[in-house]
């Protein structure tokens, strides 16, 4: 498909989150359904108007045909039904597939709902198993590194190549917490300092506890339709201007680089489709499973030169009022991280920013928002650019 294929053709007309953090009174499936109902209500439609449904696999309640199960549960009978496999990059990229389905006439109105209850639904043993099972079965797993250790490897590589410091990584966590403090829905709202991050417990050298994302329960959902039909909905649409993917490896031992990711290709493809560049972005919602990831993404997405990411996050430049507000809801570091659905909260936040609904954390005159997610260990990437108007 050409670079103009999806530009201005699809819009998000409904967006909603459930409560996040510890939500023991709702199962993973109930979180999926609640997020879906809230998004439908936001769009002002009923489930009977949905003819496309997408979900992601749940760790806690892993049904074999998950999307079909949610459709059965909600009594939706879609003509387009799909379950996203895993990883933050995949769950954002599925929106790319939904947009293509709408643009090609496979369906008219797609509901994407994603949730999990990793905090209250997984035992400590199961959580450790999940964290330790991501590596290559022959070349990585026998040596015992859990997921944080793989990201620590990236942090060390960037530190060695460009002199990135612990304080610069900590600045990412501080910015996210500042934004979360203004978000009543965020899981962690107590302000933190750079010193708090550096002095927090070491998890995988050089990453400290506050360099690492949360473990959460929660769900989020969106409703998508064609740009033409979007004008008939009650909410202000967020138009899809561009999207792109980049895929570089499955296991970190096979990565082409530890300091440059496929976010570069994903971003370039999204910018090309949108006809925009990094300087046109008013607010960025970036996947922040660990603090060094944001620094690498900022470089690869063109917001600064390679090696300048550490300096770019200093001095409040990624905070509200700064050069590029990042993760205005608090991100995975402070808002929530239920696993696979993590990037969905970035989409719902981008939609709210473009609608001007974010109260004290609202980016002034936000017209263009970029969302980026990655899955695996910087393995699979997707970038999406949304606008409050068609451009």
pLDDT digits (tens, 9 = 90+) for 260-272: 999 999 999 999 9
For 122-142, what is the mean pLDDT? Answer: 74
Q: Given pLDDT bands bounded at 50, 70 and 90, which one contains residue 217? A: very high
**What is the CB neighbour count within 10 angstroms for residue 314?**
13
Q: Kindly report, residue by residue over 86-131, the tens digit of the pLDDT.
A: 678 888 899 999 999 999 999 999 999 999 999 998 766 776 666 6
Asked if residue 41 has pLDDT above 70, the reply is yes
For 50-61, what is the mean pLDDT? Answer: 93
Percentage of the chain surpassing pLDDT 90?
85
Report for 64-68, 143-147, 307-311: range of highest mean pLDDT? 307-311
State how far the alpha carbon of 5 is from the alpha carbons of 19, 98, 264, 272, 278, in Å.
Answer: 36, 13, 20, 11, 21
Q: Which residues on adjacent β-strands are paired with residue 111?
A: 53, 223
Residue 59: name the closest of 112, 128, 121 by CA.
121
Average pLDDT, the chain: 94
Q: Which CATH number fits domain 10-122+214-387: 3.30.420.10, 3.30.950.10, 3.60.20.10, 3.40.47.10?
A: 3.40.47.10
**What is the CB neighbour count within 10 angstroms for residue 359?**
10
Q: Kindly report, residue by residue over 313-341, the tens digit of the pLDDT.
A: 999 999 999 999 999 999 999 999 999 89
And the tokens for 325?
A: 């507000």
Length of the chain: 391
Q: What is the DSSP letter of 236?
A: P
Placement of tokens 């498909």 in the chain: 1
Quick one: pLDDT at residue 381? Answer: 96
Q: Kindly report, residue by residue over 171-183, the tens digit of the pLDDT.
A: 999 999 999 999 9
pTM assigned to the model: 0.95
For 176-202, what is the mean pLDDT? Answer: 98
Quick one: pLDDT at residue 140? Answer: 78
Domain ranges of the chain: 10-122+214-387
Of the listed ranges 32-41, 121-130, 158-167, 253-262, the one predicted with least confidence: 121-130
For 353-371, what is the mean pLDDT? Answer: 98
Quick one: pLDDT at residue 244? Answer: 96
Dist. CA 244–CA 225, nearest whole Å: 19
State residue 214 phi and psi, 5-degree precision: -80, 170
Contact between 361 and 179 under an 8 Å Cβ cutoff? The reply is yes
Q: Which residues on adjacent β-strands are paired with residue 383?
A: 244, 372
Asked if residue 3 has pLDDT above 90, the reply is no
Contact between 90 and 33 under an 8 Å Cβ cutoff? The reply is no
Q: Given pLDDT bands bounded at 50, 70 and 90, which one contains residue 4? A: low
Dist. CA 153–CA 170, nearest whole Å: 17
Asked if residue 1 has pLDDT above 90, the reply is no
Percentage of the chain surpassing pLDDT 70?
96
- Pairing, β 80-84 against β 52-56: parallel
Dist. CA 359–CA 53, nearest whole Å: 31
Quick one: pLDDT at residue 307? Answer: 98
Please state whether 269 falls in left (phi above 0), alpha (psi between -120 and 50) or beta. Answer: alpha
Quick one: pLDDT at residue 238? Answer: 98
């Amino acid at each position: 498909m050409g670079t103009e294929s999806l530009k201005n053709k699809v819009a998000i007309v409904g967006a909603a989150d459930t409560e996040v953090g510890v939500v023991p009174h709702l199962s993973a499936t109930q979180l999926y359904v609640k997020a879906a109902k809230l998004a439908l209500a936001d769009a002002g439609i009923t489930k009977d108007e949905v003819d496309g449904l997408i979900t992601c696999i749940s760790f806690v309640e892993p049904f074999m045909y998950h999307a079909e199960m949610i459709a059965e549960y909600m009594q939706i009978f879609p003509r387009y039904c799909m379950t996203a496999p895993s990883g933050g990059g995949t769950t954002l990229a599925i929106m790319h597939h939904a947009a293509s389905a709408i643009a090609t006439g496979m369906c008219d109105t797609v509901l994407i709902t994603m949730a999990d209850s990793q905090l209250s639904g997984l035992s400590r043993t199961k959580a450790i198993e999940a964290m330790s099972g991501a590596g290559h079965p022959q070349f990585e797993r026998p040596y015992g590194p859990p997921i944080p250790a793989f990201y620590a490897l990236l942090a060390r590589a960037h530190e060695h190549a460009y002199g990135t410091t612990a304080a610069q990584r900590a600045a990412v966590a501080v910015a996210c917490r500042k934004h979360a403090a203004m978000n009543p829905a965020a899981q962690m709202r107590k302000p933190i300092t750079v010193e708090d991050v550096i002095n927090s417990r070491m998890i995988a050298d050089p990453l400290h506890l506050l360099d690492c994302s949360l473990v959460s329960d929660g769900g989020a959902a969106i409703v998508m339709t064609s740009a033409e039909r979007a004008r008939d909905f009650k909410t202000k649409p967020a138009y899809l201007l561009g999207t792109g993917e980049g895929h570089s490896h499955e296991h970190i031992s096979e990565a082409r680089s530890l300091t440059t990711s496929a976010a570069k290709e994903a971003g370039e493809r999204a910018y090309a489709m949108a006809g925009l560049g990094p300087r046109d972005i008013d607010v960025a919602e970036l996947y922040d499973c660990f603090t060094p990831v944001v620094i690498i993404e900022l470089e690869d997405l063109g917001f600064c030169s390679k090696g300048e990411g550490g300096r770019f996050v200093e001095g409040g430049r990624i905070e509200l009022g700064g050069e590029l507000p990042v993760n205005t809801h608090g991100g995975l570091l402070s808002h929530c991280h239920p696993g696979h659905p993590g990037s969905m909260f970035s989409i719902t936040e981008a939609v709210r920013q473009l609608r001007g609904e974010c109260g004290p954390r609202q980016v002034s005159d936000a017209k263009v928002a970029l969302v980026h997610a990655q899955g695996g260990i910087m393995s699979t990437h997707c970038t999406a650019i949304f606008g409050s108007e068609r451009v």
